[in-house]
Structure 1
Amino acid sequence: MTATATPTFDVFVSHSSRDRDFAADIADRLKAEGLQPFHDASVPVGQEISKAIWDALAECHAFIVIVSSDSTPDAMGMVELGAATAWNKPIFVLLNGPASTHVPEALGSYQVYPRNRIDEVLTQIRRNLEPIADDERQVLREIYRDLCIPVDRLSQSPRELQHLVEMFNRKTNKQLSGTRLLSELLRMRKQSKLPRLSPKRQRPEP
């Protein structure tokens, strides 16, 4: 029996229930471009929804929030937006309606795109998806193992994450951000590709 691969997500699509059909259309467009989207229909039956949402938010490379004249981000949507902001994800506001659609004040600082400019959103997302080669992933795994700092702690410690970034970029001659490498670590953990860290070797928190 062949094991089913655990999916990882490139783009998080946040939307209200009223925009579900439009979100599904956007997800199909992202898939057609070779990107893996997360939206409410992405949660498998039986999986805890809140965990699926947070995992997808943490590992995604971009965040799209859909706004229409009939809907604005609800409480959960604002929590998702706050998490994406805290993790420095690129955020795109996509209108399900004309360019004159009212955008809530909370979204006023982000770039807004009418639905007919989805190609521009895709272009921007692809610019943020600098590929990581297999040998570079191996370097990242080795650095993670040698630092012996759990990925959840790295996500909460900018100083320790920056140390990992500097080591990785120095060894690979890349210029990747902490957000990009943290997303990659979370993806590898989800796929059981991260080395186990010995509790005895883990560094004490600063």
Structure 2
Amino acid sequence: MSLVILVGWAAALVGTVLGLPQMVRLARTRNVEGLSLPAWQIILGLNIGWTSHGIILGQLNLILPNILGLASTLPILFLMSRELGRPLPKVMLPGIILGIGMIATDLLFGTAVYGLVALWPALFANVGQTLELVRSPRVVGVSPFFLIAGVLNQALWLWWGTLVADAGTMITATTTLGITSVNLVWWLMRQAGLRSFLVPTRQEMRAFVRARTRDRTKV
């Protein structure tokens, strides 16, 4: 078995189980603190777009993980829509539209242009998760295993894309690997005690309310 096949299927395997830790954590805790809804909407679109890209290239190791990825992405969006109190069709629609747009780009302009276009949704998805890790008062809703798997997945896809000289995969994986690495490091820093930025903690809010109450009483 060649190195290309081994690396491709290793990336496919990690991609297949990528969302499972987050789905299990969300189903178990029903806690969405630290999770980004826009990020998971974009991941839905990426699952659809990369499934199509794999079909066009005739690469089963691209097709399989993204089809199976829907098995975790869809339940996560369902659970988030319920916990956030938002209609499920409105939660799903942005991802579906994104996926259709990615397919159209791939068919009309080819793999290099597709890679440049597909880079941006992947970038926004991971940056969206970064923002939640930065500003959320708590990040207990985020699975560390999902973050670790994300870094490993992108590293493997970058290796595979280099081996098969697929510009689309290399362009997207390189940038996404950088951001997923930042997300993992930031989560570790939050666990080590780093507080959120720009968002007051619950204790600070309580102290603020008590201070305002005392001021009003004095008046």
Superposition TM-score, scaled by structure 2 size:
0.28
Structure with the greater alpha carbon radius of gyration = 2
Relative contact order higher in (CA < 8 Å, ≥ 6 apart)? 2
Q: As a proportion of its length, which structure holds more helix? A: 2
